[in-house]
Amino acid sequence: MYNKKLTILCYAINATGHINALLGIAFALRRRNHRVVFITAKSREGTFLKIGFKEETYEENPIDNRTIESNINSSSEEFKKPAIEQVQWVVNTFERGVERIKFMEKRMREIVSKVKPDVIVIDDIIPHPCFIHSNAPLVYTNSISPLFAIDDERLPPGFFGLPLNERSEWESSRKIFDALKEKVWNKMNNWLEENGIQKLAKFRVQHRSSNLNIYMYPKPLMEDFLRLCPLGEEWMGLDHSIRESVEKFNLPENFKRENERLIYLSMGSLVSIIAELMSHLTQILSKCKHKIIVVTGKSHQEYNLAENMWGEPFLPQLEILPLVDLVITHGGNNTFVETLYFGKPMIVLPVFGDQHDNAQRAVEAKIGFKFNPFSVTENELLNAIDDLLNDNEISERVRKISKHMRESNALNDVVERIEQIAKYPKIPTIM
């Protein structure tokens, strides 16, 4: 047992999935009696205090904060396109990320100076000069598809949803992505150079840590990736990062009768903003013979739930997943991993980014189906639901993955590695 109490500073991009994934590590660190401090946006002030962590707040960029929801809504036509035609939108998010971090930089420096962390754990896809300039070793967590995090030519490029056993589009897709990234990559490098920080590797938008980089994906689904692309000692994998939860949840009285099947529809905090999409999916599912729990999101007033449905804008996912028989999801990495942890088959309806990769992995691993969420038909979705609920082979595969994840000791291994990094840090801390 490590006998020194460490101060760990944690920062995740201001999005629910990234925060939840980092919380799993934070709870594990706290169980080892370390002091954990979260950096959080003002809009989430109190979130970490109420679960026993310290927190330091920053003001969000007013422009970024105001435009994120309108950007998602206005991009709905973009999201209807194939993944390869969405990459300009992805690159635009990188560019906004640079402006976001520039706006935060002064306050972040103040926080680092005040907290004096032994280690900083970061979940973001854009570099933060203030963290790199600190005297603390950095740990990068990647709560997105490992394909984007690893970014190696021996694997398909992330965000395209390309098959692992068919390489014909790998090179051409990577070239398209790299060509579109070049402008923002140069912009990032100019900014990093102004701050006295080493440049990013060719067309990458984030450094790697020389101490520890963590991908969050269950080992049974990572094995094919690692067979093609073995990773160095600076990498570790987490089968899951399930956080502790004290939330209570009970189904509404008389919503579900005995022996009825229960389905969970969660399209994520950003995707559920798109009222057109949520209306399309709930209209189809109104014809389903099973009961549906719906995370209705911020657009909930713009569509109606049918009699076989119940939902609220936000629901405690960790309490709901054990109750359901099937999950319909956008395929965000956090929900993807949590669904497997609780042993549920899934239908993935990817909209953007790494959701396409997770949807493809579900199909390749034979643990679920994928469809275009905007064009999926009533027959396709309803038949897929019944096929999955009655497929014993898929259920058994998912059960075995769940068993492995529940028995995994990877979270403790990561905490021990962080403790060793605090004691014997590698400098410089990025590579």
- The answer as to whether 254 is a domain residue is no
Two tokens, residue 214: 């963590």
Total residue length of the chain: 431
Mean pLDDT confidence for 68-94? 83
For the chain, how many structural domains are there in total?
Answer: 2
The answer on 57 and 150 residing in a single domain is yes
Two tokens, residue 149: 């995090």
How many angstroms separate the first and last alpha carbons of the chain? 30
Residue 315 CA to chain centroid, in angstroms?
A: 17
- Judged against a pLDDT cut of 70, whether residue 65 lies above it is answered with no
- Judged against a pLDDT cut of 80, whether residue 124 lies above it is answered with yes
- The answer as to whether 29 is a domain residue is yes
Residue % of the chain over a pLDDT of 70: 97
The answer on 413 and 276 residing in a single domain is no
Q: Work out the mean pLDDT of the chain and round it to a whole number.
A: 95
Strand 368-370, strand 262-266: pairing: unpaired
- The answer as to whether 248 is a domain residue is no
Instruction: Count Cβ neighbours within 10 Å for each residue of 77-92 and write b for 16 or more, e otherwise.
Output: ebbbeebbebbebbbe
The answer on 198 and 150 residing in a single domain is yes
> Could you read off the pLDDT of 268-294 as tens digits, one per residue?
988 998 999 999 999 999 999 999 999
Residue holding tokens 């002091």? 35
- Give the domain extent around 367: 262-406
Mean pLDDT confidence for 296-316? 94
The answer on 396 and 362 residing in a single domain is yes
pTM of the complete model beyond 0.85: yes
The answer on 113 and 203 residing in a single domain is yes
Which domain CATH number covers 106? 3.40.50.2000
The answer on 328 and 194 residing in a single domain is no
The answer on 316 and 212 residing in a single domain is no
Weakest mean pLDDT among 90-99, 320-329, 350-359:
90-99
- The answer as to whether 251 is a domain residue is no
The answer on 414 and 401 residing in a single domain is no
- The answer as to whether 42 is a domain residue is yes
The answer on 292 and 204 residing in a single domain is no
Q: What is the DSSP string of 368-426?
A: EEE--TTT--HHHHHHHHHHHHT-HHHHHHHHHHHHHHHH--HHHHHHHHHHHHHHS--
The answer on 28 and 43 residing in a single domain is yes
Q: What backbone torsions phi and psi does residue 121 show, to the nearest 5 degrees?
A: -110, 125
